Amino acid sequence: MDFELSVEQRALADSVKAFIDERVDPRMPEIERTNAIPPELLKEASDLGLFGISIPEEYGGSNLSRLSRVLVHQMLGRSGFGFAGIFAAHGGIGSEALVTIGTPEQKQRYLPRMATGELRGCFALTEPGAGSDAGGITTTAVKKGDRYILNGVKHYISGSTHAGLLTVVARTNTAPRSKEMSVFLVEPSFKGFRIGTVYDTMGCKGHPIAELLFEDCEVPEENRLGPEGKGWLAATKTLMEGRPVVAARCVGACERLLEISTDYAKTRKQFGQAIGEFQGIHFMLADMATRTEASRLLTYRAAVLADEGRVTSQDTSMAKLFASETLAFVADSALQIQGGSGYITDNPVGRFYRDARITRIYEGTSEIQRGIIGRSMLRN
Ligand SMILES: Cc1cc2nc3c(=O)[nH]c(=O)nc-3n(C[C@H](O)[C@H](O)[C@H](O)COP(=O)(O)OP(=O)(O)OC[C@H]3O[C@@H](n4cnc5c(N)ncnc54)[C@H](O)[C@@H]3O)c2cc1C
């Protein structure tokens, strides 16, 4: 498989890398402290076209290939996940279903504003009683005249506090464990919708998660996405498509941690020499770099297969599983190399360490990814 990047892809990756390293990274301590993203950074991201990479050109986006998208997310991951997560929640899972199965009217109504970031998206599947077992959701959508009435609770939804459009999965067939679910485009101003608890998280500062409450929430029929009862496929496809994006952010974070670690190993002296002279440090750096490179290749492979229309859930799960577990290893090793200074709160390595932990949990835990891969091996 050929992963040779075109001149345009290199230029794209370089421009996002420069934005992250020069504009976003220096502001990360402030983002950590305030748990908010400075509006001017969002404006610069909009000017760079970062909100529109997965949106078709006719609606103002750039509709990049899957490989180009993962390159963008790889570079975003260099600052950790507080800032980067915004683009994944919005352009990945938050608009994927609308782009894939929306009607031309639905797309025209929302996508042009989503392409600029004026309107941000999020994806709401998880509920207090249904996490890994997403098929167990209990939020209902009952048809009443020309509207659906939604009742239920979603929680831990990324980007929902700033979202202007929520893609919500609800049950239209109330029979237990029926897969007849539907997807709805919910605007926060719809009657009966409100944000509940906004959770304080150990990492990903600036990108809060919240609880969403639907109390006889009225959703116009024209805001149902795709045919009634066919939402389960759209939801699982959305999650499958999102996994290489998580993997790409992990790769970018690993690459940044490797840079920090090699720089530190060259300058920190103990026993009269740079710690990078010790074989123990060589071994750590070698394992970090080797696993990072393997993660990058698995991620690019999933993206190229998606571009060729032949990606499977096994491919995307392998990329997400391996890259997120690699990031855990790399962040831990990077902290070890920093010694005690790595444990001081304002050391950036500690931020990566905290951010990294979520990648083995959201968009399907590592156990769920292993289940997908194992079952698919036995099917073939
Ligand atoms: C920061 C953050 C952001 C999130 N963003 C979103 C979002 O934008 N949209 C959204 O819909 N959701 C979101 N989530 C929810 C996330 O996807 C779920 O937390 C995740 O899927 C796990 O579900 P759970 O927390 O209910 O854990 P559980 O499903 O209760 O799992 C608990 C443990 O049991 C294990 N387990 C469960 N089932 C099995 C099994 N069959 N085999 C082996 N082990 C199993 C799990 O792997 C885990 O270790 C977010 C969560 C967080 C923390």
Q: Are 10 and 4 in contact (CB under 8 A)?
A: no
Could you say which residues of the chain have pLDDT below 50?
A: none
CA 262 – CA 141 distance, rounded (Å): 54
Q: Are 283 and 336 in contact (CB under 8 A)?
A: no
Q: Are 219 and 148 in contact (CB under 8 A)?
A: yes
Task: List, in sequence order, every residue forming a beta bridge with 210; answer none if it has no partner.
Answer: 157, 198
Residue ranges of the domains in the chain?
Answer: 7-120, 122-232, 239-379
3-class SS of residue 11: helix
pLDDT value, residue 13: 97
Examine the residue annotation and report whether 363 is marked as an active-site residue of this protein: yes
Minimum CA distance residue for ligand 1 atom 37: 132
Q: For ligand 1, say whether the CB of 321 is within 6 Å of any of its atoms.
A: no
- Assigned CATH class of 239-379: mainly alpha
Beta strand pairing status for 147-158 and 209-220? antiparallel
DSSP for 275-340, written as a single string:
GGGSHHHHHHHHHHHHHHHHHHHHHHHHHHHHHTT---HHHHHHHHHHHHHHHHHHHHHHHHHHGG
**What single-letter DSSP state applies at residue 357?**
G
CATH superfamily of the domain spanning 122-232? Butyryl-CoA Dehydrogenase, subunit A, domain 2 (2.40.110.10)
| Ligand 1 centroid to residue 263 C-alpha, Å | 36
CA 352 – CA 296 distance, rounded (Å): 18
Instruction: Choose the residue to mutate in 90, 96, 132, 366 for probing ligand 1, maximizing ligand atoms within 8 Å of C-beta.
Output: 132
Q: At 67, give phi and psi (nearest 5°).
A: -65, -45
Q: For ligand 1, say whether the CB of 308 is within 6 Å of any of its atoms.
A: no
CA 15 – CA 54 distance, rounded (Å): 17
Per-residue pLDDT tens digits for 89-147? 998 788 989 999 999 999 999 999 999 999 999 999 999 999 999 999 999 999 999 99
Q: Give me the sign of the Cα torsion angle 144, 223, 362, 199.
A: negative
Q: For ligand 1, say whether the CB of 172 is within 6 Å of any of its atoms.
A: no
Per-residue pLDDT tens digits for 147-191? 999 999 999 999 999 999 999 999 998 777 788 899 999 999 999
CA 205 – CA 184 distance, rounded (Å): 28
Q: Which residues contact 117 (CB under 8 A, 6 or more apart)?
A: 42, 45, 46, 50, 51, 52, 90
**What single-letter DSSP state applies at residue 186?**
E
Which atom from ligand 1 is nearest to the alpha carbon of 158? 8
> Which tokens is 226 given?
């795709």
Q: For ligand 1, say whether the CB of 235 is within 6 Å of any of its atoms.
A: no
Which atom from ligand 1 is nearest to the alpha carbon of 124? 11
CA 222 – CA 280 distance, rounded (Å): 62
Tokens 């504003």 sit at which residue? 113
Q: For ligand 1, say whether the CB of 124 is within 6 Å of any of its atoms.
A: yes
pTM comes to: 0.96
Q: For ligand 1, say whether the CB of 209 is within 6 Å of any of its atoms.
A: yes
CATH number of 7-120: 1.10.540.10
User: Torsion angle of alpha carbons 254, 255, 260, 266, nearest 10°?
Assistant: 120
**Helices (DSSP H) in 35-87: which residue ranges?**
39-47, 66-76, 81-87
User: Torsion angle of alpha carbons 258, 260, 262, 266, nearest 10°?
Assistant: 180
Task: List, in sequence order, every residue forming a beta bridge with 214; answer none if it has no partner.
Answer: 152, 193
Q: For ligand 1, say whether the CB of 192 is within 6 Å of any of its atoms.
A: no
Region of 177 please: left (phi>0), alpha (psi -120 to 50) or beta.
left
pLDDT value, residue 351: 96
| Ligand 1 centroid to residue 131 C-alpha, Å | 5
Catalytic residue among 58, 180, 363, 367: 363
